[in-house]
Amino acid sequence: MLTRALFFVLLICGVVSPAVAEDTKVLALGLADHEVTQAELDKGAPPVPRFNSPAIAYVSAANLKTGDSVEITLSNTDEALLTNSETLAEDRAIYLLQAGKRGVPAGGWPSEWRYFAKLKIIRDGKPLIEQATTPIPFE
């Protein structure tokens, strides 16, 4: 009886509910020089972009729920360059989302900038996961 009462108190206080957030996790987050597939990510990280290659930010996440909003952004040191987002219509065991540029900007990507992928997953209107890669130059 005491165990049930303690569990009920913990549940009401929100101590037990964070397990839901622990179920959702980032499997892969990064930058690639081409659009990637889940099978490719399962094998390891793809090549990073260079100043004269396409640049794609990607995220692979697990255990997403209906209504979750996933946003991936290709950013430089100062601003978001390209963003892609989607609100899921159904539960997804594994979900891959990408944002980027298939072509190369005229003159290439500026080498003085640092580029990174930024992820935001929102559930029930609240941030669930926010994560970014370490900024890198495109050499």
pLDDT (tens digit, 9 = 90+) per residue, 101-136? Answer: 989 999 999 989 999 999 999 999 999 999 999 999
Q: Beta strand pairing status for 25-32 and 55-64?
A: antiparallel
The stretch 32-59 carries a mean pLDDT of 96
In 3D space, the residue among 23, 48, 28, 25 whose CA is nearest the CA of residue 38 turns out to be: 28
**Range from 16-20, 54-58, 124-128 carrying the lowest mean pLDDT:** 16-20
pLDDT at 22: 56
Tokens at residue 41, please? Answer: 């990510």
39 compared with 9, residue with greater pLDDT? 39
**Range from 19-23, 34-38, 94-98 carrying the lowest mean pLDDT:** 19-23
Any idea what DSSP says for residue 112? T
CB 68 within 8 A of CB 124: no
pLDDT at 77: 85
> How far apart are the C-alpha atoms of 129 and 120, rounded to whole Å?
6
17 compared with 109, residue with greater pLDDT? 109
pLDDT (tens digit, 9 = 90+) per residue, 65-78? Answer: 999 999 999 999 88
pLDDT at 111: 86
Any idea what DSSP says for residue 7? H
**What structural domains and CATH numbers belong to the chain?**
24-132 (2.60.40)
Beta-carbon contacts of 8 under 8 Å, excluding residues fewer than 6 positions away, are: none
Residue 100 scores a pLDDT above 90: yes
